[in-house]
Structure 1
Amino acid sequence: MQSPRRRYFVMHDHAVNPVIAELRERIERLEGGEIRRRLVLPFGVPEIDGRLPQGGLALGALHEIAGGGNGAVDGAATALFAAAVAARTRGPVLWCMTRADLFAPALAQVGLSPGRVIYVEAGDEKALLSCMEEGLRHGGLGAVVGELARLSMTASRRLQLSAENSGTIGIAIRRWRRQTEASDFGQPTASATRWRVSVLPSSPLPVPGVGRARWLLELIRCRAGESADFEVEAPDAKGRIALPSDLVHGSSQAEAWRGRASA
């Protein structure tokens, strides 16, 4: 015969299970699990979207982008990549910076029209982070972009939590005034993804001229995902990147480019 104490243990176990399940659901909601699972911004490129959780960039999250080098060319590509992502969101875009050197017509070429952008010039990076945080908390913006050199774990966590609460995507463009600041990019942050953009030779044309720009797009870090790199064509007028046609068909020239990129 089973002892009363044993019967009590069994009944208690059955009663606790649904409570634990409910608590887990509540915790997931508080952590933004539903937002990350349901709301994403796909690139429309299966090879890239397949490497990202839920098939796209998480909305309601912070993402980092940096140039592959310290030069102005890779820096410009980084800004264009961020603009292309922001262009495919809905609503105004808040762009925070400490240096007023952004070229608005170039952003328009990748789909981000000047009428959608609200420019904020901050006195220093501390003020810039405050502007980004307020923008992410607002909830009525399509995206919040900030150009900064340093991003601590504490600051990135504040931005990430603000993005989760509002559902707005945040993009931190890492820009450095000197090479010594670049080492900060390797430090851990709360960002959902971390990208690096490097300029490659443009797409070849059958006639003399300059073809569509190409980038080496590196996914350095992805929460709940794996690192990867892609050779892509720069965004079109609607902010959409694409794989070069010769890479899709696996030409010998494409294989040579892959070898140079990996080197």
Structure 2
Amino acid sequence: METKDFRRRPALPFGMAALDSRLADKGLRLDALHEIAAASNDMAEDCAATLFMAGIAARAWGPILWVVRRRDLFAPGLSQVGLDHKRLIYAEARDDAELLAVMEEGLRHRGLGAVIGEVKRADMTASRRLQLAAEGGRTIALLMRRHAREGADPLAAPSAAVTRWRVACAPSTPLPVAGVGRARWQVALVRQKGGESFETQVEACDATGRCALPADVADRKATAGGAARRAA
């Protein structure tokens, strides 16, 4: 694969000022490890975290390696957030150790847009190996930390990840008629290198993998900003 004329972007932006402006790299560093976890072990929040991660991969540049422990990915759902099944390369691992090893090999290949894995346990050494494998390339590493047991925080363990995210479900966008509006997520950046943590609510990814700031949330922020300027 010829890449000598490719000018690598340092980061993959969300395209939302509410997120990008608060990230140290104005987006997600491409040559880095990023971790995502559901806020609970509830199936709906697990799906929300998976789709948040899939939306990021959908905006990456090329083929996607997705390494799983169980065959529960739903291709039509991934397609709804912009991740076409034709871009996906699936790999199934026996255990977390094998999954992490496959991810590392995928990152070192340098011909993939993103490498995704789902684990219950990954220690600091494992996360550091993924981070080192990603550095210097243009393949973003996305690691979903699943709940090992009820009540445990998947993001409590130390990690070398550049960013760590927690995703929860939020009430959907209200409609003027009876029905269910666009899904919303409560997205928390628990930790980032070189920046502060924050939390915001977004509308779920659309068919291009992009989230949006809900209109009512944007209005509240604009009102608060105007009040702050008047007070100053």
Report the TM-score when normalising by structure 2. 0.89
Partner AA of 2:218 in structure 1: V
Q: Does 1:48 align with 2:39?
A: no
Is contact 1:150–1:185 with CA below 8 Å preserved after alignment? no
Is contact 1:62–1:171 with CA below 8 Å preserved after alignment? yes
RCO greater where, 1 or 2, for CA within 8 Å and sep 6 or more? 2
Distance of 2:169 and 2:184 partners within structure 1: 6
Q: How far did 1:226 drift?
A: 0.2
Describe the SS at the equivalent of 2:136: helix
Distance of 1:193 and 1:54 partners within structure 2: 10
Q: Does 1:67 align with 2:38?
A: yes
Q: CA offsets per residue over residues 192-211 of structure 1, 9 Å max, x none?
A: 00000000110000111110
- Which structure has the larger Rg over C-alpha atoms? 1
Among 50, 53, 57, which residue is 1:79 paired with? 50
Q: Does 1:131 align with 2:102?
A: yes
Partner AA of 2:19 in structure 1: I
Are the structure 2 counterparts of residues 47 and 132 from structure 1 closer, same or farther at C-alpha, using a change threshold of 3 Å?
A: same
Partner AA of 1:99 in structure 2: R
Among 146, 152, 157, which residue is 2:128 paired with? 157
Q: How far did 1:178 drift?
A: 2.3
Describe the SS at the equivalent of 1:179: coil
Describe the SS at the equivalent of 1:187: coil
Describe the SS at the equivalent of 1:147: strand
Are the structure 2 counterparts of residues 236 and 184 from structure 1 closer, same or farther at C-alpha, using a change threshold of 3 Å?
A: closer
Any unmatched runs of 5+ in structure 1?
A: 1-34, 256-263
Partner of 1:116: 87
Partner AA of 2:118 in structure 1: E
User: Kindly, what percent of the aligned residue pairs are identical?
Assistant: 54
Describe the SS at the equivalent of 1:250: helix
Q: Does 1:235 align with 2:205?
A: yes
Is contact 1:202–1:212 with CA below 8 Å preserved after alignment? yes
Higher share in helix? 1
Root-mean-square deviation (CA), in Å? 1.6
Partner of 2:141: 170
Distance of 2:31 and 2:93 partners within structure 1: 23
Q: Does 1:225 align with 2:195?
A: yes
Distance of 1:110 and 1:167 partners within structure 2: 22
Report the TM-score when normalising by structure 1. 0.79
Q: How far did 1:167 drift?
A: 2.4
Q: How far did 1:104 drift?
A: 1.0
Q: CA offsets per residue over residues 74-97 of structure 1, 9 Å max, x none?
A: 000011001000000111000001
Describe the SS at the equivalent of 2:46: helix
Is contact 1:194–1:220 with CA below 8 Å preserved after alignment? yes
Q: Size of the alignment, in residue pairs? A: 216
Moved over 6 A (4+): none
Distance of 2:97 and 2:209 partners within structure 1: 30
Partner AA of 2:103 in structure 1: M
Alignment map for 1:141-152 (pairs within 5 Å): 141-152=112-123
